[in-house]
Structure 1
Amino acid sequence: DFNDATCSMYGYTPEELKNLSLGDLSADDLVFSQSKARSLLEKARTEGPHSFEWHAKKKGGELFWIEANARHISAAGINYCLLTVHDISERKKNEEFSRESEERLRTLINSMQDIVCFKDGEGRWLEANDFDLKLFRLEGVDYRGKKDSELACYSEFYHDAFMTCESTDEKSWLAGAATRSDENIPTPEGDERVFDVIKVPTFTPAGRRKGLIVVGRDITERKRAEKALLAAKEEAERLSRLKTEFLSNMSHELRTPLNGVIGFVRLLSESPLEAAQKEYCSIALGSAEHLLHVVSDILDISRIESGRVSLSKDRIDIFNFMSGLIAQFKKAASARGVNFIFEFDAGINCFVTGDNLRLSQIFMNLLSNAVKFTEKGSVKFGVEKLSETPEEISLKFFVRDTGIGISEDRIGDLFQIFSQLDMSNTKRFQGAGLGLSIVKKLLALMDGRIDVKSAVNEGTCFSVELRLPKNERAESIVKNNMELKMGRIKSRGAIKALIVEDNFANAYLCQLTLEKVGIASEIASDGREAVEKFSAGKYDLILMDIQLPEVNGFEAALAIRKKCAERGTPTPIIALTAYVQQSDREKCLRFGMDGYVAKPFTIETMIDSIEKVLCG
Structure 2
Amino acid sequence: MDHILYSITTEHDVRWLVAAGLICVLGMATALHLLAAARQQAGTRRRFSIVLAALISGLAVFTTHFVALHGYQPGQEIRYAVWPTVGSFALALGSFGLAAGAVMAQPTRLFRALSGVVALVGVAGMHFLGISGLSLAGDIGWEPGIVALAIGGGLVLALLSGGVVYGPGLARRLATALGGTLAVAFLHLTAMGAMVIAPGIETDRGLTVSSGVMTGVIVAMVLAIAGVAAVIAWTTWASQSGALKRFREALDAMPDGMAFYDAEDRLVLWNHRYAEVNPELSSTLKAGMTFREIIQIGLDEDLYADARGRRAEWIQERLDSRRALTTTMEQRIAGDRWLRVSDRRTAAGGIVTVCTDITDLKNDARALAEARDVAQSANSAKSQFLANMSHEIRTPLNGVIGIAQALAKTPLSAQQEEMLELIQSSGRTLQVLLSDILDLARVESGRLELASDAFHLGQAVREAAQLYETSAEAKGLQFFVEIAPEADRWIIGDVVRVKQILTNLVSNAVKFTASGFVSLTAAAGPDRGGEPTLRFSIEDTGIGFDSDTRERLFSRFEQADGAITRRFGGSGLGLAISRQLAEMMGGDLDCESEPSGGSAFILTIPFMAAEAPAAAACVVALSTDDEPSTIRVLLADDHPVNRKVVEMILAQANVELTAVENGAEAVQACREGDFDIILMDMQMPVMDGLTATREIRLNEAAMGLARTPIVMLTANALSEHIASAEAAGADRHLAKPFDAAELLELVATLPHAAAASLAA
Give the TM bin, normalised by the shorter chain.
Answer: 0.7 to 0.9
Which is higher, the Rg of structure 1 or of structure 2?
2
Amino acid corresponding to residue 585 of structure 1 in structure 2: I
| Cα pair 1:596 1:609 within 8 Å, conserved | no
Paired residue for 1:185?
333
State the shift of 1:541 in Å. Answer: 2.2
Q: Cα offset for 1:517?
A: 5.1
**SS at the partner of 1:419?**
coil
1:6 partnered with 2:143: no
User: Which residue pairs with 2:500 in the alignment?
Assistant: 361
Q: What TM-score, normalized by structure 1, do the two folds share?
A: 0.77
Alpha-carbon spacing, 1:99–1:567, altered in 2? closer, same or farther (3 Å) = farther
Equivalent residue, structure 2, for 1:196 = 340
Counterpart Cα distance in 1 of 2:375 and 2:220: 80
Aligned-residue Cα RMSD (Å) equals 3.8
Report the equivalent of 2:634.
498
Number of the residue aligned with 2:675: 539
Residue in 2 that maps onto 1:344: 483
* 3-state DSSP of counterpart to 2:281: coil
Per-residue displacement from partner, 1:133-169 (whole Å, max 9, x unpaired)?
A: 3333434536444446645676788443496784542
Q: Is the partner of 2:224 in helix, strand or coil?
A: coil
The Cα shift of 1:346 comes to 2.6
Partner of 2:567: 428
Q: Report the counterpart of residue 548 of structure 1 in structure 2.
A: 684
2:366 is the counterpart of 1:227: yes
The answer to whether residue 614 in structure 2 is matched with residue 476 in structure 1 is yes
**Worse overlay, 447-456 or 261-270:** 447-456
* Equivalent pair of 1:392/1:470 in contact (CA under 8 Å): no
- Alpha-carbon distance in 1 for matches of 2:19, 2:235: 21
With over 3 angstroms needed to count, the CA separation of the structure-2 counterparts of 1:109 and 1:515, relative to structure 1, is: same
- Secondary structure, aligned partner of 2:738: coil
2:382 corresponds to which residue? 243
The one-letter code of the counterpart of 1:436 is L
Output the CA distance in 2 between the equivalents of 1:584 and 1:602: 20
Corresponding residue of 1:141: 284
Question: Counterparts of 2:694 and 2:341 in 1: how far apart (Å)?
Answer: 57
Per the alignment, in what secondary structure is the counterpart of residue 557 of structure 1? helix
Note if 1:273 corresponds to 2:412: yes
Partner SS, residue 303 of structure 2: helix
Indicate if the aligned counterparts of 1:418 and 1:432 stay in contact, CA closer than 8 A: yes
Deviation, structure 1 residue 602: 1.2
The separation in 2 between residues aligned to 1:591 and 1:606, in whole angstroms, is 21
In the alignment, which residue of structure 1 is the partner of 2:402?
Answer: 263
d(CA) in 1 for partners of 2:599 and 2:539? 6
C-alpha contact (below 8 Å) 2:458/2:489 kept by paired residues:
no
SS at match of 2:724: helix
Partner amino acid, structure 2, of 1:183: Q
- Specify the SS of the correspondent of 2:364: helix
Tell me the equivalent position of 2:318.
169
Paired position in structure 2 for 1:37 = none
Is 2:291 the partner of 1:131?
no
SS at match of 1:561: helix
Between the aligned partners of 1:547 and 1:371, the Cα distance in structure 2 is 39
**Residue in 1 aligned with 2:303?**
160
SS in 2 for 1:324: helix
Judging changes above 3 Å, is the alpha-carbon distance between structure 1 residues 561 and 425 closer, same or farther for their aligned structure 2 residues?
Answer: closer
Cα deviation for residue 239 of structure 1 reads: 0.5
Measure, in 2, the Cα distance between the counterparts of 1:389 and 1:184. Answer: 50
Cα pair distance change 1:17/1:308, threshold 3 Å? farther
What is the CA–CA distance in structure 1 between the aligned matches of 2:752 and 2:275, rounded to whole Å? 82
Q: 1:38 matched to which residue of 2?
A: none
Contact 1:265 1:285 in 2 (8 A): yes
Counterpart of 1:603?
A: 740
Q: Is 1:594–2:731 an aligned residue pair?
A: yes
1:594, 1:613 within 8 Å by CA — same for their partners in 2? no
Matches of 1:159 and 1:390, distance apart in 2: 60
The 1:120/1:251 distance shift into structure 2, 3 A limit, reads same
| Structure 1 pair 133–406 and aligned structure 2 pair: CA distance change class (3 A) | closer
Correspondence 1:581 to 2:729: no
Structure 1: distance between partners of 2:454 and 2:550: 34
Q: For structure 1, which segment, 440-449 or 112-121, has the greater mean C-alpha deviation from structure 2 after superposition?
A: 112-121
* Matching residue's letter, 2:384: E
Map of 2:468 onto structure 1: 329
Greater share of residues in strand: 1
Give 1:296 deviation, angstroms: 1.7
Partner of 1:566: 702
Q: Using a 3 Å threshold, how does the CA distance of structure 1 residues 176 and 261 change in structure 2: closer, same or farther?
A: same
Q: 1 or 2, which has the higher helix percentage?
A: 2
Correspondences of 1:438-449 after superposition (within 5 Å): 438-449=577-588
Q: What is the number of equivalent residue pairs in this alignment?
A: 541
Q: What letter is aligned with 1:138?
A: L
* Residue 222 (structure 2) aligned to one of 56, 59, 67: 59
The whole-number CA distance in structure 2 between the counterparts of 1:15 and 1:375 is: 116
Q: Which amino acid aligns with 2:453?
A: D
Aligned counterparts of 2:285 and 2:415: Cα–Cα separation in 1: 104
Residue aligning to 2:134: none
1:80-111 per-position Cα deviation (integer Å, ceiling 9, x unaligned): xxxxxxx9x99x99999987876665444333
Q: Residues 17-28 of structure 1: matches in 2 within 5 Å?
A: none
Distance 1:538 1:103 in 2: 99
- 1:509 match: 645
Q: CA deviation at 1:198?
A: 1.9
Greater mean deviation of Cα atoms: 145-154 or 326-335 = 145-154
Percentage of identical aligned residues = 28
Change (3 A) 1:410 1:140: closer
Instruction: Tell me the residue number matched to 2:259.
Output: 117
Distance of aligned partners of 1:435 and 1:141 in 2 relative to their CA distance in 1, 3 Å threshold: closer
Deviation of 1:500 after TM superposition, in Å, equals 0.7
Shift of 1:512: 4.1
Deviates more, 1:535-544 or 1:152-161: 152-161
Residue 328 of structure 1, CA deviation: 1.6
Shift of 1:505: 2.2
Unaligned runs of 5+ in 1: 19-55, 67-86, 205-209
User: Larger deviation: 392-401 or 499-508?
Assistant: 392-401
Deviations 1:406-444 (A, max 9, x none): 355534343332233448998333322222222223223
2:98 alignment counterpart: none
The one-letter amino acid of 2:254's match is M
Give the CA deviation at 1:290: 0.8
Task: Quote the offset at 1:519 in angstroms.
Answer: 3.9
Cα distance in 1, alignment partners of residues 664 and 596 from structure 2: 62
Letter in 1 for 2:336: E
Shift in CA distance, 463/202, structure 1 to aligned 2, threshold 3 Å: closer
